[in-house]
Amino acid sequence: MPLLSVPKLGIGSAGSYSPGMTRGEPTKTVGQSRAGGEKALTVHCLGCYHEGVKTFEELKLWNDMIFVDVPKYRRLVCTPCRSRNVKVMPIFPTARGTMGHTS
Ligand SMILES: [Zn+2]
């Protein structure tokens, strides 16, 4: 498990991402989310539009995991419709006070 910390975590610096298969997409990592104060994400079902909140801790995400790839590493199954066709969205700490969830 790659739990090593990345020495240069460039926040907001587009351009030099980690080598590999990046295609110029916004490939924010879990580490960058954490650095921005995020602790959780929302999971949206593309089948029935159910949505839920999962914390990074709950899913045991590691820092260099690409945020949008979380469903590839974690079996996120929609509870109502059993679909695995889900996508994850970040929860920004200051955005909308809809989260009644403090850690
Ligand atoms: Zn669903």
In a domain, 63, yes or no: yes
Give the model confidence (pLDDT) of 6-53 as tens digits: 555 444 544 444 555 545 557 899 999 999 999 999 999 999 999 999
In a domain, 77, yes or no: yes
Lookup: tokens for 40: 């959780």
C-alpha 91 – ligand 1 centre gap (Å) = 20
Count the domains in the chain.
Answer: 1
C-alpha 19 – ligand 1 centre gap (Å) = 35
Domain extent for 64: 30-90
Query: How distant, in Å, are the alpha carbons of 60, 61, 77 from that of 3?
Result: 11, 10, 25
In a domain, 4, yes or no: no
C-alpha 84 – ligand 1 centre gap (Å) = 8
Evaluate the CA torsion angle 24, 19, 43, 73 in order and state its sign: positive
In a domain, 85, yes or no: yes
Backbone angle region of 92, left / alpha / beta, with phi > 0 → left and psi within -120 to 50 → alpha? beta
Q: Give the pLDDT band (50/70/90) at residue 97.
A: low
pTM: 0.63
